[in-house]
Structure 1
Amino acid sequence: MFRRGRKKQQEKSDKKNEQTPNEQGNPPERYAKLAEKMAKQFAKAPTSGPLKTPGIIQHVQHIPGGAILHAANTSIAVVFYKPNLVEIRVRPDRQFPPVFSYALSETFKHEPEAAKVTEDTENVLIAAGGMACVFTRTNSQLRIYLPNGQEVNVESRFSWQGEKVTWQRQLPPDEGCYGLGQRGWGLNLRGRKWALWNNDPVGYGRGTDPVYYSIPFYMGVHPNYGLGVLWDNPTRGAVDLGAEHANQMTFSAETGELRFYLMADEKPDSVLKQYMELTGFPPLLPLWAFGYQQSRWGYVPSNKFRELAKEFRQRLIPCDVLHFDIDYMDGYRVFTYNKETFGDLPVLISELGQQGFKAVSIVDPAIKADPNYETFRSGQERGMFHTYPDGNLFIAPVWAGDSAFPDFTNPTVREWWAGQVENLCKVGFAGLWNDMNEPTVFTPSGPGIIPDYIQANWEGQGNTHLGGAHNVYGTQMARSTRAGLERARPDKRPFVLTRAAYAGAQRYTVSWTGDNRSEWDHLRLSISVVLNLGLSGMFFTGPDIGGFMGDAEPEMYARWIQLASLLPFCRTHTCAGTVEQEPWSFGPEVEKIARKYIELRYQLMPYLYSTYVQGAQNGLPMVRPTFWEDPEDTRLYNQDDAYMVGDALLVAPIVDKGATKRELYLPRGVWYNFWTRKLIDGARSIEVEAPLDQMPIFVRAGRVVPMWPVRQYVGESPIDELQLLAFAGIAETTLYEDAGEGLGYQKGEYRYSYFSTKFLPGGQYAVEWRRAGKYEPTYKKVRLEIIGISGDPEMIYVDDQLAPLWFFENSMVEVLSGPFSQVRIVGKSPDTSEAAKTVARRPGPSSS
C-alpha cells in the first residue's frame, strides 16, 4: 500500500535487474514481505471439483449461423461467421451473453454465416460453405471436415473441473505446430507444453517458457490442410502439443469461458487470413520504420547521441532511428527527462531530425509513487492505478523504486495515458517503445509479476489480474500509447514498439523479441522466434542485433546483422556494461560487412515495404517459413535456419560459429543465387558457399525485385531511379507504393504495380508492367535487369519500339528506359530448362 514520503532517487546499476537500497530499505525485499502478507489476505486457489464432460446431446436448438447443442451437463453454441470460421462456446450455466474480447478486432462483425444443421440418431452436423462440424450425440465429441472430405479435427473433447476449462483434439502425426506468440524454441513447437502467461525471463534461452508474448493462436500445417485455433481466453493457461501424449493437443485455462475459434482450409495462407480478419490487420507504418535503427542502454549524456549521429553520417552507414533508453529520464520517472544530462533534449531531437534521424523514446508503465511527481499525483487523484481487493493502491518496485501501475483495461485510464504521451511527444519524439509491460515488478529473486488478485476495471465489468488483465496488459498499454501518438502527430503514422502482447496486438503495435543474449544459439533462435510471431499476427518484429545481454564477438555481430538485415524490424540494441555494439565497433572488416547489408536493406526497401503493406491487407506475414512455398513438403516443417521474405526472396543465414558454407534444402521450384545469378532446381539439398562477407540469398524464378539507390536515411533525397531485377521464369509480382508517411493512402493516394514475366511465341521473353492508382512516384528513370538470358539478344523492344539503350553481359540484359508497359526480348530465351518453365507456371502463393 502507498506510504507518503519521497524516497531518494536510485542510482543506475550496472545490471538491469539490480536495485540499490534507499532510505527505507531494499524495495524488492520490502515488497516481498508485503506481498506475502497480502497473499494471506487476498489470494485464493481456483475452485476445484470433479472432472466433467458435456455428456449426451439431448436437444438441438437452431440459431442463426449454427446451433446450440444442449447436452446432459452443458450447452455448446456453434456459430459460423465465415464459411471457414466457426466459434465454439461451452457453458455449463447454459447462458450465452454477448462476447467481450480484447483479442477480436472492433471491425470484425459478429454476423452469422448461412449454415445448415442436420441431425440423425448418431450425429449432429453443422456446416457452412467451407467447413463442417460433426458432433457425436453420445459424448459431444467434435470432428471437422473440409468440403473435399479431409478431416482436420479428429475426436476433440471438452471438459472442465471447477473453474479450469480444457479442450483436447487428436494431433495427426504429420501436423506441424506453429504460432503461439513468442517461444524460445525451434520453428516447430510440437512435443512440448507451452504456458500462456506473459513473463519477463531475463535473458531467456532455448526452452525458457513462458516469455513475453502469450498469443493463444495455434497454426497447424499438414500436407493436406491448414488449421487455426484462437483460444479466446486471456487467463493463465497452457497448450500441450504432444508433450504428455504424443498425438494429442490440449488447450487449458485456470478459469474463464471455454471459447475458441476454429479456422480450416486446404492451405495455411487462407487460415492465417481468417485469423487476421478476426483479430485485425496491422496499420501501415512510416517508411522510416523499415530503416536501420540503433539503440543502447547507456547512451548518456545527450552529447553521446550527437557523437553517434556524426559517426553514422561520416562513415556512410545508413540509419534512420536512434532509441532513447531509460537513461534520459529524471530518476526513471516516466514522461520526464533529466535536466542535468538531457537538459537540451528538445534541441537535441531537433538537431538529430535535421540530420535525418527519428528519435524513439522508451516508456515503461510503472509510475513512481512520489506525491511530488505530477504524473503519479494526477493518476492517484483520478483513480488510474491498479488496487488491492480492499481498494488500497497496489505498489511494487521497478526502476524508479516503489511504483503504481495504470489499469489499461479502464477506458478512462487509456484516455489519461494518451494525454501523458501527447505531452511527452512535444519534445519531438517520433515513436514510442513500451518496455517492462508484462508487467514486471522487482523481487529479491529477480523480475516478478503483479499478483493474481489485483483488481482490474475490465471496461467497467470488473476482473482480476489472473482473470485476464495480466495477459492483455501490454496490448492495452500499446493501444493507449498509440492513441497518444495519434493526438501528438495527427498527420503522421504512429510507431509503437512493445515487449509484451496478446492476440490482436498487431492493431496497435509492432514488436521485438526482448532481452536476448549474445550467443550463437540466440542468433539462430532469432529466426524461429520471428517466424512464429509472424504466424501469430505480429508481422513486424526482429531481435536485438548482437544480443542484449553479454558481449558480442566480431564474427557473431557480422552474421547477426546479415541475418537481421532483411527481417522486418532491424535494430542493434544492447545492455549497459556490455562492449560497444555499433556497426563500427568490431573493426574495419565487420564495419564493411555491416555497411554492405544495411545498404542492401535500403536498396530493397521498396520490396520490403511492399511485402509488409500487402501482408497488412491480405494477412500474409512479411517474413514467412520456407514451408509457406510448399506446405505439402514436410521436410520444410522444421527448417528454422532459413526464411522467406515475401514470395521472392529466400534468406539462408549462417548461424554457426566459424562456418563458411552451409547446407540448405530448397523448396520446390526454380531458384537463382542472388549473388552469383546461378540457376538452381529446388526440392533438394544443396551446399552453398558463405564466406564471412556473404549471406546466402536466393530468388524464385519469375519474380521481379524492385530496388532503390542507397540513401543514408529515408527522405534524404527523392528517388530518381527504380531498378527492377527480373529473374527469368514465369510469375507475377506486385509492388505497392505511396508517400511512406502521412495518411494520404487512406484517401487513395497509392499505386499498385503488377509485373508479369512470361514466354512468348517465337523464342521471345517479356516483362510486362501494369499500374493502377493515384500516387505518382518521384522516379522517371527505370533500370530493368533480366537475369538468366542464354545469349546476346537480337533485338529488345520497349513498348514495341526498339530499345535505345541496352546491353548484355553474363546472362543478364540491362535496359534503361522510363516506366514501361512491356519490355520484350527477341532472339534468346532465358537460360532455363523446360522443367523450370513448367514449375514456374505452377500457381504459387499470393504475390507480394
Structure 2
Amino acid sequence: MLGLVQRFERFDRGVQIIAENATALIVYLTPSIIQVRVSTTGTFKPLLSYALSSDFKPAPVEVQITDSAEIIDMRSDKLRCEVSHVNGALHFKLPNGRTVSQDTGNCLHHDGEAVSWTRQLSPQEHCFGLGERALGLDMRGKKVKLWNTDAHRYERGSDPLYFSIPFYVGVHPEYALGVLWDNPARGEVDMGATNPEQMTIQNESGEICFYVMADRRVDGVLTNYFELTGRPIMPPLWIFGYHQSRYGYQSSSKFRELMAEFRKRSIPCDVLHFDIDYMDGYRVFTYDKTAFGDMPVLLRQMQEKGFKSIAILDPAIKVDENYAIYKDGLATDIFIKDKSGKPFVGKVWAGDSVWPDFTKPQTRRWWGKLVAQFVQTGFDAVWNDMNEPSVFHPDPEQVVTTLPDDLPVDWDGHGRDQKSGGHNVYGMQMTRASYDGLRRARPDKRPFVLTRSTYAGGHRYAGVWTGDNASSWDHMKLSISMLIHAGLSGMVFAGPDIGGFFGTPEPELYARWIQMAAFFPFCRTHTMKDTPDQEPWSFGKEVEDIARKYLTLRYELLPYLYSAYAQASTQGLPMIRPTFMHDPKDEKLYEQDDAFMVGDALFIAPVLEKGATSRELYLPRGVWYDYWTHKLIDGSRTITVQAPLDHLPLYVRAGHILPMWQPMQYVGQKRIEEMKLRVFAGPGESAIYEDAGEGMEYLEGEYRWSYLTCLSMPGGAFAINRRVAGKYTPPYNKFRIEIIGLPNEPESVRIDDIPAPVWFFDNGIVEILTSPFTKIELVGKRRDPSTLADTVVSRRD
C-alpha cells in the first residue's frame, strides 16, 4: 500500500502524493478520466503506452483540491477522487457523492517485481469486458488471466483465450465504472473469486498505471475509453457483407467454383478468405506457383464478379537461406533474439522459424512495406493469425506454446527489461504494422485487418474473431457473451466462425447459427481442414434457403448495421449490446446471455437448443414489435414464441426506424436508387449514418447523419421529423417510407406542410413515396400505440 501520507504537492490537474511506501501521481486527463501512477523509487519513467492513442490530448479541466485531517479531496464537475491520509486508499465518486470505487486498505501494492491493486466490489456491481472471455455474461465471482494464448480447442470456462484486454467495466444499476489497467505483462483479474467483496488486478512485473472513468451509464464510460484509446476504425462497407472461408481451399479452381456457386444460388457474399493453403511452403508473402499460379488473374476475376479477397499472414518467418524475406530480415536486424544475441528459433507451420519484434519501429516499417508490396497482387485486406504469438510445443500432447518470457524486445527504443511484457502487445503491434502497410499501398482506400490477438487500443487497427471454436450448441450460445465482452472492451467489430471451426455442424445447428450471425458485425463461415464442406448449400435445400433468407435480410439492413457501427466509432456504443444497457435497473438483464441488442432498435433472441421449435424469452422494458408479424408486445416480462427452423425471433423497439436497401448479392452490385425507412410507430429517435462506404473522405466531413424523431401527438396524429448533418450526398433522392402499427387509415398525410402526392394504406401499413423531407405528418383516427390498448399483448395474456 502507499501507507501514511507524509505530504502532497498540488499542480493544475492533480496531486503528487508522497507516502511512506511509495509515491503516487493522480492526474485528471479530462473531467471524466483520472490517471493513477505509483512508484516505489520516487521517480517516474517516461510513459510508454500502446493502449493510448497518439491523438489523445488532455482536455481542459478545472480541478478543485482541498485538504482535511482525513482526506485529500480532488474534484472536477464529472468525477471526484479522495485520498486517505491514513493509508493512501483511493475513493472515487460521481459528483452527486455516489461511490463508484473504493480501495481496500491494501490497495496499491508492490511485491518485488509484482504489482497489484485491490478495490471493494459493490454488492450490486456486475463484471464485464477484459477482452475475449468464455465464462458467460456476468463474470462476478470469476478470476481471469491477462495473457494472450493460442487456446486450441477451447471450451466454456477455458481461460485465457486469444486476446486479453485489461479494460474492466463494472456496471451497477445506478452507474458504470471503467478501469484501464495499462500494464501488458502477464497478469490476472480476480472479480470476487477469492474474496466475494473484493476485486484485485495484478501483474508479475511492470508499473502501476491505470485510468479510472465513471458515468451514470455504460455508454458514457465507453465514450471516455475511446477518447483515451482512440476511435474504432471505420472499415469499408463491404466488410459488413458475408464472408466465406475454410482451412483447405487449396487451388485457384476451388475459388472459381465458390464464386460460381454463390452467384448461381443467389446467396449474397462479398468476401472469400485465403487461409495458409495459398502460400508456398507456408512462407508468408508468397503464393504457391502451382496451385495458385494465376493468382493475379484470379484476384482480378474476383473483383469483376463482386468478390473481395482477404489473405492470411502469420508473423513467423521461415528459416531458409533461399527465402529472400528471411535473409532481408536478418540483414535488417528485426527478429527477436535470445540472450546470446541470436534470433530465437521455434517451430510453426513452416518448420523452423523466427519472429519479428513488432515493438521495434524499424520492424513495423519493414513489415508494412512487405504488406504494401504483397497486396499489389490484388488482395483487398489481410488477416493476421498465430500472433499471440503461437509456437508449436515440442510435446505433441501440449500442441502449442509461445515465445519464452525472457526474450528482450525493443519497446520502441525504451529498452525496458519487463518480464513477459512484450507478449500481450505482440498481436496488436503486428496489426499496427499491417494496417500501416495497407494505408501505404492504397492511401485512397480504407484498410482492414482481421486479427486473432490484440491489446487495449487494438481497435484502432483491426477487427477480431473468436478463434478456433467448436461445432456445438454451447459454442453457438457462448458466442453471444463473448461478443458482448469484446464490444465492451472496445473490439466492436467481432464475430465467431459460423458453424464452428473444429468438428462438423449438423444441418439444424448451422441453420440456427447463421440466422443469429447474420446480425453480428463480422459474419463469416470458417472451418478446419479435412472437415466436411461448410458452405451454406452444403446442408441441404432447407438450410440453404434459410441461409439465403437471413443473409438477404442482412444485406437489406446494411444501412442500419453500418449506422450501428458508426455509433461505435463516434460514440463508443458497441454494435452488439447486452440488454442491460437498455435498462440497467432491471437485474434480470444481467443474466440474459441468450439474447442481445444490435444497435438501438433490434432485439435478437436466437434459438439455442437442439430440436427446439419454440423458446421463452425475456423482453426488456418498453414496447416492441415482432419484426415478422408486426404484433405489439409489452416488455419487462417473459413470453413464449414459436420458432420453427426457418424462424428467428426478432423484435424492434417502438418508435424506431430501420433504414433498408434493396436486396443485393454484394455491396455495390446496384446503384442505390432509394432508401426504405421502415417505421415502427411510437415515440422514439433514430440515427442513420451514411458515407461513400470506401475512401478516407469521411475523415474530412464527407459523411451524413440523419436524425429522425417519431412523435405520437394528441388526436391520434403521428409525425416524423428529420434533420441532417454533414457534407455527404447519397446517390438516391427518393424515400420509400413504411409506417407500421397504424390500426386505422389516416385521414391525410402531409410532407413539409404540403399534402403528399402519393401514399397508400394496406393491412395496417402506411406507405409513402417522397423526395427528401424534414417533416411528415399523419392526421386521422388512428390509435396511439403508446396506450397499448388492444394492439398490445397485455401482461394478462
Q: If the length of structure 2 is used for normalisation, what is the TM-score? A: 0.97
For residues 629-708 of structure 1, the aligned pairs below 5 Å read: 629-708=582-661
Q: Give 1:661 shift.
A: 1.4
Q: Does the Cα contact within 8 Å between 1:765 and 1:830 map onto a contact in 2?
A: no
Match of 1:342 in 2: 292
Cross-structure match for 1:58:
6
Query: Match for 2:265: what amino acid?
Result: R
Q: Distance in 2 between matches of 1:112 and 1:207?
A: 44
Alignment of 1:549-628 (within 5 A): 549-628=502-581
Structure 2, unmatched stretches of 5+, are: 793-797
Q: Match for 2:448: what amino acid?
A: F
CA separation of 1:496 and 1:221: change in aligned 2, threshold 3 A: same
The 1-side partners of 2:666 and 2:586 are apart by 40
CA separation in 1, counterparts of 2:760 and 2:681?
16
Q: Does 1:69 align with 2:17?
A: yes
Output the CA distance in 2 between the equivalents of 1:832 and 1:362: 51
Partner in structure 1 of residue 795 of structure 2: none
**Equivalence for 1:318:** 268
User: What's 1:829 paired with?
Assistant: 782
Provide closer, same or farther for how the CA distance between residues 181 and 147 of structure 1 changes in structure 2, counting only shifts above 3 A: same
**Match in the other structure for 1:537:** 490
Q: How does 1:84-163 map to 2 (within 5 A)?
A: 84-110=32-58, 113-156=61-104, 157-163=107-113
CA contact (8 A) 2:603 2:651 kept: yes
Code of the aligned partner of 1:232: D
**Residues 716 and 783 in structure 2, CA contact (< 8 A), matched pair in contact too:** no
Partner deviation per Cα, 1:230-266 (whole Å, 9 max, x = no partner): 0110000000011111111000000100111001111
Residue aligned with 1:589, SS: helix
Secondary structure of the residue that 2:767 maps to in structure 1? strand
Matching residue's letter, 2:88: S
Match of 1:271 among 221, 246, 253: 221
Does the CA contact (< 8 Å) of 1:329 and 1:337 recur in 2? Answer: yes
- Aligned partner of residue 425 in structure 2, secondary structure: helix
The residue identity in structure 1 corresponding to 2:91 is: R
**Does the 8 Å contact 1:150/1:224 carry over to 2?**
no
The aligned runs of 1:421-820 (5 Å cut-off) are 421-443=371-393, 444=395, 445-463=398-416, 466-820=419-773
SS in 1 for 2:424: helix
**After superposition, what is the alpha-carbon deviation per residue over 1:592-638, rounded to whole angstroms, capped at 9, x for unaligned?**
00000000100000000011112201111111111111111121112
Give the 3-state SS of the residue equivalent to 2:226 in structure 1: helix
Q: Matched residue of 2:412: which SS?
A: coil
- Call closer, same or farther: CA 1:505–1:612 in 2, change over 3 Å: same
Change (3 A) 1:765 1:416: same
The aligned amino acid for 2:533 is E
Q: Distance in 1 between matches of 2:33 and 2:412?
A: 27
Residue number in structure 2 paired with 1:393:
343
Separation in 2, partners of 1:508, 1:727: 36
Q: Following TM superposition, by how much is the alpha carbon of 1:769 offset from its aligned partner in structure 2, in angstroms?
A: 1.9
CA distance in 2, matches of 1:788, 1:503: 44
Between the aligned partners of 1:627 and 1:621, the Cα distance in structure 2 is 13
Residue identity in the other structure for 2:68: D
Q: CA deviation at 1:94?
A: 1.1
1:211 aligns with 2:164: no
Query: Paired residue for 1:193, among 143, 158, 166?
Result: 143
Against the structure 1 CA distance between its residues 280 and 462, is the aligned structure 2 distance closer, same or farther, given a 3 Å change threshold? Answer: same
Contact kept, 8 Å, 2:205 with 2:418, in 1: the verdict is: no
Corresponding residue number in structure 2 for 1:332? 282
TM value normalised by structure 1: 0.91
Partner of 2:188: 238
For the 8 Å contact 1:64–1:112, the answer to whether it is kept is: no
Matched, 1:260 2:213: no
Alpha-carbon contact 1:450-1:465 (below 8 Å) kept: no
Q: How far is the alpha carbon of 1:352 from its aligned partner?
A: 0.8
1:615 alignment partner AA: A
Partner of 1:39: none
Q: 1:529 to 1:394 in 2, by over 3 A?
A: same
Bigger Cα displacement from structure 2, 806-815 vs 479-488 = 806-815
Alignment root-mean-square deviation, CA:
1.5
SS of the equivalent of 2:413 reads coil
- 1:359 matched to 2:312? The reply is no
Matched AA of 2:468: D
Q: How far 1:798 moved relative to its partner?
A: 2.4
* One-letter identity of the residue aligned with 1:155: D
- CA distance in 2 between counterparts of 1:776 and 1:504 reads 32
Rounded Cα–Cα distance in structure 2 between residues aligned with 1:382 and 1:464: 22
The aligned counterpart of 1:409 is 359
Q: Please give the per-residue CA displacement for 1:409-454, whole angstroms capped at 9, x wherever unaligned.
A: 0000000001110111011000000000000000122110100011
| C-alpha distance in 2 between matches for 1:91 and 1:152 | 25
* Maintained 8 Å contact 2:745/2:782: no
Structure 2: how far apart are the matches of 1:101 and 1:677? Answer: 50
| Amino acid in structure 1 at the alignment position of 2:621 | R
Which position in structure 2 is the counterpart of 1:289?
A: 239
Verify the 8 A CA contact 1:661 1:688 in the aligned structure 2.
Answer: yes
TM-fit CA distance, 1:112:
6.8
Further displaced range: 105-114 or 316-325: 105-114
Deviations 1:158-186 (A, max 9, x none): 11211111100111121110000000121
Task: Note if contact 1:552-1:579 (Cα within 8 Å) is conserved in structure 2.
Answer: no
> Structure 2: how far apart are the matches of 1:286 and 1:254?
40
Please state how far the C-alpha of 1:772 moved relative to its aligned partner: 2.8
Structure 1 segments unaligned to the other structure (5+ residues): 1-52, 840-848
Distance, in Å, in 2 between the alignment partners of 1:501 and 1:314 is 38
- Flag the 1:250–1:660 CA change in 2: closer, same or farther, 3 A: same
Give the 3-state SS of the residue equivalent to 1:555 in structure 2.
Answer: helix
Give the equivalent residue in structure 2 for 1:83.
31
- Between stretches 456-465 and 282-291, larger displacement belongs to 456-465
124-133 or 105-114, larger mean C-alpha shift: 105-114
Q: Quote how far apart the aligned CAs of 1:759 are.
A: 2.2
| Structure 1 residues 80-111: Cα deviation after superposition (integer angstroms, max 9, x where no partner) | 11112101111111112331100111011146
Deviation at 1:188, TM superposition (A): 0.9
- Would you say the 8 A contact 1:729–1:830 is kept in 2? no
Contact (CA 8 Å) 2:434, 2:449: kept in 1 or not?
yes
1:606 partner amino acid: P
Q: Which amino acid aligns with 2:264?
A: Q
Q: Distance in 2 between matches of 1:689 and 1:814?
A: 29
CA contact (8 A) 1:183 1:529 kept: yes
Aligned-residue offset at 1:835: 6.6
Rounded to whole Å, the distance in 2 between the matches of 1:804 and 1:121 is 75
Distance 2:140 2:789 in 1: 35
Q: Deviations over 1:6-33 (max 9, x none)?
A: xxxxxxxxxxxxxxxxxxxxxxxxxxxx
Check conservation: 2:555, 2:663, Cα contact below 8 A: yes
Paired residues of 1:452 and 1:465 also in contact (CA < 8 A): no
In 2, Cα distance between equivalents of 1:339 and 1:591:
34
Identity over aligned residues, as a percent?
Answer: 54
Number of residues paired by the alignment?
A: 786
In 2, are the aligned partners of 1:218 and 1:228 still within 8 Å (CA)?
A: yes
Q: Give the structure 1 partner of residue 179 of structure 2.
A: 229
Task: Identify the residue that residue 170 of structure 1 maps to in structure 2.
Answer: 120
| Cα offsets for 1:726-774 (capped at 9, x unmatched) | 1111111111111101112123222221111112343211112222332
